[in-house]
Structure 1
Amino acid sequence: MDPHKFHGKDIPHIKLDPKMNIEDLVEVFANSGFNGRQLGEAAKLYAKMIEEDATICLTISGAMTPVGFGGIIKTLIERGFVDWIVTTGANVYHEDHFALGLPVKQGSFDVDDMKLYENEIVRIRDVYIKFEETLEAEDQTIQKMFADDFQDKSFTTAEFCNLLGKRSKKIAKHPEKSFITTAYDYDVPVYISTMKDSSLALNLAVHRLEDKKFDLDFVREIIEQAAIVYDSKKSGILELGGGVPKNTAQQTGPLLDQILRRNDGGQEYIIQITDARPDTGGLSGATLQEGKSWGKIQDSHEGIITVYADATIAFPILALYVLSNQKERKPKRLYKKIDQLYDKLSKDYFNNPKGG
């Protein structure tokens, strides 16, 4: 429809009822305007991605696990609503605190950080983490886990997270409180977009000083990510924030088309939840429409929705909406298929390197 004509749904005089459920609330959002409408439509688009059996990537930037949202991610994995993940290393590192039973508490943002430092309390906005009881304990665990693995051979961050999930399941006090262990159980690949920019990599430093080498094959993993998209009948992303995880998932399109000449076309669907502005030119705030010029999305007019909101507010609404009205999907178990998907893309490329 021509958006310059006076047509569309009537905006109702909205009434709230104490008996309303999450589906009713999403309808309220969808029938309103501004970012409320975007949020409602984003929830429905997520449901559509699930209904059409799209291969769904969840990207996670910002401190989502320290506020406990790893539990939401875990549930989405269990229901088959997330097939692969791109996240920051910090979200993986802090998620393991819950599995190990290490203390993470609500604190305050209006505080004297000099005094917090004296009391050995680390702050993420209004979340408190104890230096010795939590960070030191986590560091020792990570160091022991990877003292004898990945030396002198290449590895991907998906392999790193898979091993972390496997070992946390064995040694953690509460392995059920980690989406990393659940990703291991359901063969969901978890890629860390910036491994060196996290405490996970910092804890490998003690082993490197002992001349143990770690060869992260970052090129292989970007090919793996593209191979997942290449093999998908339909592909979509749910982006929590922006940053490197956002671009890591979206750059699969340019790799397939611009570099490998596969004429894939990019993602069918993307939902972006961000508070970043587009006018500064940063990737976090870049509009999804702009991504079409790079071949990151199939269509700049449909299948894409940006919600300008705090992800800690919008994400639980989207998640609860699909958990309430979508049937559980059979897990795609992409981690076990990665080599097969990689080989398929490689074979197609060498058989037809110029595309067409």
Structure 2
Amino acid sequence: MANTVVTDPSQINDTRKAELLAHEVKHIDIKSFDARPIIDQMAHMSFTSRDLARATSIYNMMLADKDCSIFLVIAGSTSAGGCMDLYAELLRNNMIDGIVATGASIVDMDFFEGLGHKHYQALEIPDDNELRSLYIDRIYDTYIDEQQLQDCDHTIYEIANTLEAKPYSSRAFIREMGKYLVEHGKKENSLVKLAYEHDVPIFCPAFVDSSAGFGLVKHQVDRAKEGKPYMVLDAIADFRELTDIKVKAGTTGLLMIGGGVPKNFIQDTVVCAEILGHDDVAMHKYALQITVADVRDGACSSSTLQEAASWGKVQTTHEQMVFAEAGSVMPLLASDAYHRGHWKERAKRAFGTMFG
């Protein structure tokens, strides 16, 4: 996420900055290897290995169930860490039908790279104040060029300036971002771009908690100074639209990386549908979650799927928690599912067409 400018960019030590940003993160290609033999053997192991094998089998069940619509739910920084092309392949091959994610995953990571920018391996981590003087932002052992991130902020601002001054759901605005990448993007394998092309809706229920927030605030402030109306994001529309999709979808499955707001948002559609009078709405039939969060503090990020059943959100017949760092296990799960090929028989939902 972009930060307040504290240094004159003209004073940056470009040589030192280039040294630190010399190693691009390379996103894993799930088609280049077949994880089925590994997952098959993990099923006969114990601990997290067996949990992962069962989670993978549940995802394959979702893909094989012709009535099941699948939602990819993303929190955390796996996109920046090397899983960006993995998620793109799931979408391209009709292995997911909708996405709920943090704004950072969609804007600061995927859209950011769609504009031609990169994430970098932090093979050396100096004092973070030195990084700040170089305009380098750090996500654990991954770097982002702050100046490139500010370009991302400005692009969001420019997109907002082209739109009619009215309320937009995050889905509607992200669709405009996808349209922008089709016309001006520099990366074919962008999740935002592919979602636009395949009519797969993306929701970010806390959208402004990302680089989008900076651009949208500037849009509103500048328009207000000019005495002109401005666009706004409608969080209630997010909830309504995603609930409409849940009602239409019927049988649903959740592939969740991390937790937090995206996890709770997709689960709450069941309760919302009931409140709207859809008494026959089904709980999410399938669910798996990959997380390292501790369950003992009662936080939403770590609440188990069994706990969600008490709220009427998730069935417990086909659910699995996997307590592991997602970047280390998602490539195995996704490669296994890709090579088993159940996606080849799935009907395309194109839920994005529901909203014109």
The residue type equivalent to 1:316 in the other structure is P
State the match for 1:120 in structure 2: 135
State the match for 2:289 in structure 1: 272
Q: Distance in 2 between matches of 1:238 and 1:89?
A: 18
Q: Would the alpha carbon gap of residues 139 and 196 (structure 1) be closer, same or farther in structure 2, given more than 3 Å must change?
A: closer
State the match for 1:74 in structure 2: 88
Q: Distance in 2 between matches of 1:125 and 1:87?
A: 20
Cα deviation, 1:156-193, whole Å, max 9, x if unaligned, reads 1111111100111111122x131100000110000012
State the match for 1:83 in structure 2: 97
State the match for 1:331 in structure 2: 348
Shift of 1:331: 2.2
Counterpart secondary structure, 1:268: strand
- Please tell me whether the aligned partners of residues 225 and 252 of structure 1 are also in contact (alpha carbons under 8 angstroms): yes
The residue type equivalent to 2:332 in the other structure is I
Cα deviation, 1:237-275, whole Å, max 9, x if unaligned, reads 100000100001111111122553524231001111011
Q: Distance in 2 between matches of 1:150 and 1:266?
A: 37
- Please tell me whether the aligned partners of residues 82 and 327 of structure 2 are also in contact (alpha carbons under 8 angstroms): no
Whether 2:205 is the aligned partner of 1:196: answer no
Shift of 1:111: 2.9
State the match for 1:149 in structure 2: 163
Aligned length in residues: 315
- Please tell me whether the aligned partners of residues 292 and 324 of structure 2 are also in contact (alpha carbons under 8 angstroms): yes
Q: Distance in 1 between matches of 2:350 and 2:155?
A: 27
- Please tell me whether the aligned partners of residues 85 and 188 of structure 1 are also in contact (alpha carbons under 8 angstroms): yes
Cα deviation, 1:111-139, whole Å, max 9, x if unaligned, reads 3101111111111111111122x112222
Q: Would the alpha carbon gap of residues 258 and 294 (structure 1) be closer, same or farther in structure 2, given more than 3 Å must change?
A: farther
102-111 vs 41-50, which deviates more?
102-111
Cα deviation, 1:282-338, whole Å, max 9, x if unaligned, reads 0111111111111101x33x1111100011111111111111012423421100024
Shift of 1:39: 0.1
Percent identity between the two aligned chains: 28
The residue type equivalent to 1:55 in the other structure is S
Q: Distance in 2 between matches of 1:196 and 1:139?
A: 11
Q: Distance in 1 between matches of 2:46 and 2:164?
A: 51
What TM-score do the two structures reach when normalised by structure 2? 0.84
Q: Distance in 2 between matches of 1:316 and 1:149?
A: 38
Counterpart secondary structure, 2:78: coil
1:318 to 312, 319, 333: 333
The residue type equivalent to 2:307 in the other structure is E
Counterpart secondary structure, 2:177: helix
Counterpart secondary structure, 2:161: coil
Q: 1:1-356 to 2 correspondence within 5 Å?
A: 21-53=34-66, 54-93=68-107, 94-108=109-123, 110-132=125-147, 134-151=148-165, 153-174=166-187, 176-210=188-222, 211=224, 212-258=229-275, 260=277, 262-297=279-314, 299-300=315-316, 302-327=317-342, 328=344, 329-338=346-355
Q: Would the alpha carbon gap of residues 126 and 283 (structure 1) be closer, same or farther in structure 2, given more than 3 Å must change?
A: same
Shift of 1:150: 4.3
- Please tell me whether the aligned partners of residues 250 and 282 of structure 2 are also in contact (alpha carbons under 8 angstroms): no
Larger relative contact order (CA 8 Å, sep ≥ 6): 2
- Please tell me whether the aligned partners of residues 252 and 266 of structure 1 are also in contact (alpha carbons under 8 angstroms): no
The residue type equivalent to 1:31 in the other structure is H
Counterpart secondary structure, 1:188: coil
Please list every run of 5 or more consecutive structure 1 residues that lacks an aligned counterpart in the other structure: 1-19, 340-356
- Please tell me whether the aligned partners of residues 108 and 125 of structure 1 are also in contact (alpha carbons under 8 angstroms): no
Q: Distance in 1 between matches of 2:124 and 2:265?
A: 31
Shift of 1:64: 2.2
Q: Distance in 2 between matches of 1:143 and 1:220?
A: 21
State the match for 1:352 in structure 2: none
Counterpart secondary structure, 1:167: helix
The residue type equivalent to 2:207 in the other structure is M
Q: Would the alpha carbon gap of residues 28 and 277 (structure 1) be closer, same or farther in structure 2, given more than 3 Å must change?
A: same
Counterpart secondary structure, 1:62: coil
- Please tell me whether the aligned partners of residues 57 and 84 of structure 1 are also in contact (alpha carbons under 8 angstroms): yes
The residue type equivalent to 1:270 in the other structure is A
Please list every run of 5 or more consecutive structure 2 residues that lacks an aligned counterpart in the other structure: 1-32
**Structure with the bigger percentage of helix:** 2
Counterpart secondary structure, 1:203: helix
